[in-house]
Chains A and B, each alone.
Chain A
Amino acid sequence: EVQLVQSGAEVKKVGESLKISCKASGYGFNRNWIGWVRQKPGKGLEWMGLISPGDSEVRYSPSLQGQVTISADKSAGVAFLQWSSLKATDTAIYYCVREGSTFGYFDSWGQGTLVTVSS
């Protein structure tokens, strides 16, 4: 069974850095792209980016490029989402997602990590 287990909720201040994680299990980690989808409070889903763990190729949403860093530790089967300087507008639930087929759909989702950024 495919499982994506994310790190716990975070409460941070504006300007702080943060790295959240997603541990994948139940499949060959290198075989599927894995990435992140954001959901701001009461809003819809927004794709942030994907990484191919096998070769570390990363694709970012054009609107978020430069604001976050997506990485993966393929030996540990873990994907990461990182900020160097958080903004209040980064407050959201962040979902880890696995691509079921290359450039297609997201067939597995993590439980979500709530990130709250206050001033």
Chain B
Amino acid sequence: SYVLTQTPSVSVAPGQTATITCRGDNIEDQNVNWYQQKPGQAPLLVVYDDVDRPSGIPDRFSAFDSEDTATLTINRVEVEDEADYFCQVWHVATNHPVFGGGTRLTVL
């Protein structure tokens, strides 16, 4: 089965840049999607198809992937960005979606 590995936690001060990574074999060959989940809420799609943002998602959120690592970058981090972030791909070989284990972003 295909595995996506995320760092369990990341901490950043307000106004700084947060970098959240997601590792998977040849992840650059797949479309990577990212979700934000705040405590007590349902997840929210923040990036899809590697680099696109749904309407309403600020341009402080960006993403890219290279070889085995996908990266979500949050510029000028705000307190409201504190949440769990999950990466996800649709793994073509197994024909089903796979989620990473999630990264908890703490804004100090």
Contacts and interface: CB of A to CB of B under 8 A. Distances in A.
A105 B45 contact: yes
Given A45-B43, A107-B48, A107-B54, A62 B96 contact: yes
Contacts of B100: 44
B46 to A, nearest CB: 10
A117 to B, nearest CB: 21
B48 A100 contact: yes
Contacts of A104: 31, 33, 48-49, 90
Given A104-B49, A109-B42, A47 B96 contact: yes
Interface in B25-77: 31, 33, 35, 42-45, 48-49, 54
A109 B49 CA distance: 18
A46 B43 CA distance: 12
Interface in B7-33: 31, 33
A45 to B, nearest CB: 4
A61 B96 contact: yes
Interface string A53-68: 0000001011000000
A62 B31 CA distance: 21
Nearest to A111: B42
A50 B95 CA distance: 12
Given A44-B86, A44-B101, A59-B95, A107 B45 contact: yes
Nearest to B100: A44
Interface string A64-88: 0000000000000000000000000
Contacts of A47: 96-99
Contacts of A95: 42-43
Contacts of A106: 33, 35, 43, 45, 88, 97
Contacts of B94: 62
Given A45-B99, A62-B94, A107-B54, 14 more contacts: A37-B43, A37-B99, A44-B99, A45-B43, A45-B86, A46-B99, A62-B96, A100-B48, A101-B49, A103-B90, A104-B48, A104-B49, A105-B48, A106-B33
